[in-house]
Structure 1
Amino acid sequence: MLRVHSFESLGTYDGPGIRLVAFLQGCNFKCLYCANADTIELKGGTETSVDEILAMAQNQKPFFGKKGGLTFSGGEPLVQAKQLLPVVKALKENGFHVCIDTNGSILNDDVKAVLEYTDIVLLDIKHIDNEQHKLLTGKSNEKTLAFVEYLNKINKPVWLRYVLVPGYSDNHQHLHQLGEHFKAYDNVEKLEIQPYHELGAHKYEHLGWEYQLKGVKANTQEQLDSAQSILNNYFKEVVIN
């Protein structure tokens, strides 16, 4: 049984086409700007069976068209890789397109098995600089970079996702380093720049946590355009979500 925090129907930001997005409970990162802070704790969520998710997928199939399908996000969905495996296997056996939105910090036999039934990995790159990555997430980026290397080895399609946080992840030198690191990865199909926002800040108050990025302003269009201009030099496609 998967522990699911919530579902989003008719999603358009988490993979190709129209999608049913399942936000799973639990995450091993604690990003300063997390928009889903209530999914971080491993406890909580609703236990949901394979049959329940498959039934939801079948019900919404008319909206998916040729490109749509299901996306598992979080939280960090691969925290529950063992429970996720029979779900993605059943979905693929029934002809559904599957995306996994992950921070890429977990790579074990269960995760590798899940990836066999995954069409596209939406990989959240928090920062290319290890010290800045630790500042933003509390963890090193070494496992994430090794995860991307594995995805390249098995030729698994990847969409990179990068949150542009003013003063934290928008340094031009770091953006060039990000591009240089990934420019040779043929399996990376695109990079999505995700603007910083405070939409999840109120959840921190509810949880009794202090929001660490108070006072950080949303990106200006100029900042977003500048980052896109730099990253266009390295990736096949760069979009601003």
Structure 2
Amino acid sequence: MNTPTTTVTGAVHSFDLSTGVDGPGTRFVAFLAGCPLRCQYCHSPDTWLRRNGTPTTTDQLLNEIGKYERFIKVAGGGVTLSGGEPLQQPAFTRQVLRRCHERGLHTALDTSGYLGDHADDTLLDATDLVLLDIKSFDPATYRNLTRTGSVGPTLRFARRLSALGKPMWIRFVLVPGLTDAPANVEALAGFVASLNAVQRVEVLPFHRLGAHKYTVLGLDFPLAHVSPPDADAVERARAVFRARGITTY
């Protein structure tokens, strides 16, 4: 006789439905609370701390997902765990992904990869797609941008996913004067081109849409003085990846 799985409790900040942004199709996206990084361009500082999330069991989250299950299946979508950083809650993330997988739902993990070592084989087996946000390839730029840590764990995680043949969407935020140095973009494109199973790269222009959240939290927005890159700059960066034969948006 199978022993019922004990439900795990996590900290969930919020959830939403999205289309074409957080993986293929229409998706139920759960934003988990807690992140070890403090990226200067972060548009969700309200997800940095676990205490800002609501204690939620996997049963409770699966019940919420169930309300939309038929719709997201028909729409060719699935479930995405985002953050914050979902790998800061590996047991909760693992169980949610596994149970969604058992229900025939496509699963995606949206992560910086900084805590990639927290993702064991069971968690990755239940993950159909990894949305991997590589902040910068240059180590000094990475430290300056994230205000903590090293890019090493993210690159190690990317290589592990590549070895497993795990489908990836690579995301890179283009910030004028911070991540847009040609050498940084070229180096990142070369690294991505060396990986297996990268389905696409998304070069995302920096924006200031989350600046008001810093005001609410009594924080200074570090990039308040930075303007978004113009369309030509974004296309030049995308062209670097396309030149390596990578599908890029």
Give the TM bin, normalised by the shorter chain.
over 0.9
Could you tell me the TM-score, scaled by structure 2's length?
0.91
Match of 1:149 in 2: 159
The answer to whether the 8 Å contact 2:175/2:206 transfers is yes
Distance in 1 (alpha carbons) for counterparts of 2:55 and 2:31: 12
Whichever residue aligns with residue 243 of structure 2, its letter is N
Could you tell me the TM-score, scaled by structure 1's length?
0.94
Whichever residue aligns with residue 189 of structure 1, its letter is Q
> For the structure 1 residues 235 and 80, does the alpha-carbon distance in structure 2 shift closer, same or farther, using more than 3 Å as the test?
farther
| Structure 1 runs (4+) greater than 3 angstroms displaced | 107-112
Whichever residue aligns with residue 32 of structure 1, its letter is Q
Give per-residue Cα distances to partners, 1:51-70, cap 9 Å, x unaligned. Answer: 22222222212332363001
> For the structure 1 residues 10 and 183, does the alpha-carbon distance in structure 2 shift closer, same or farther, using more than 3 Å as the test?
closer
Distance in 2 (alpha carbons) for counterparts of 1:38 and 1:222: 32
Are residue 44 (structure 1) and residue 58 (structure 2) matched? no
> For the structure 1 residues 110 and 224, does the alpha-carbon distance in structure 2 shift closer, same or farther, using more than 3 Å as the test?
closer
Aligned residues: 239
Q: Kindly, what percent of the aligned residue pairs are identical?
A: 36
Classify the secondary structure of the residue corresponding to 1:43: helix
2:194 to 184, 194, 207: 184
Q: How far off its partner does 1:109 sit?
A: 5.7
Are residue 211 (structure 1) and residue 221 (structure 2) matched? yes
Distance in 1 (alpha carbons) for counterparts of 2:117 and 2:151: 17
Distance in 1 (alpha carbons) for counterparts of 2:43 and 2:18: 19
1:102 to 98, 104, 111: 111
Distance in 1 (alpha carbons) for counterparts of 2:38 and 2:102: 34
The answer to whether the 8 Å contact 2:117/2:157 transfers is no
The answer to whether the 8 Å contact 1:4/1:46 transfers is yes
Classify the secondary structure of the residue corresponding to 1:140: coil
Classify the secondary structure of the residue corresponding to 2:50: coil
Classify the secondary structure of the residue corresponding to 1:238: coil
Match of 1:30 in 2: 38
Classify the secondary structure of the residue corresponding to 2:37: coil
Range that drifts further, 176-185 or 60-69:
60-69
1:223 to 230, 233, 237: 233
Distance in 2 (alpha carbons) for counterparts of 1:122 and 1:61: 21
Return 5+ residue gaps in structure 2 as ranges.
1-8
Whichever residue aligns with residue 158 of structure 2, its letter is V
Distance in 2 (alpha carbons) for counterparts of 1:109 and 1:182: 22
Distance in 1 (alpha carbons) for counterparts of 2:239 and 2:98: 39
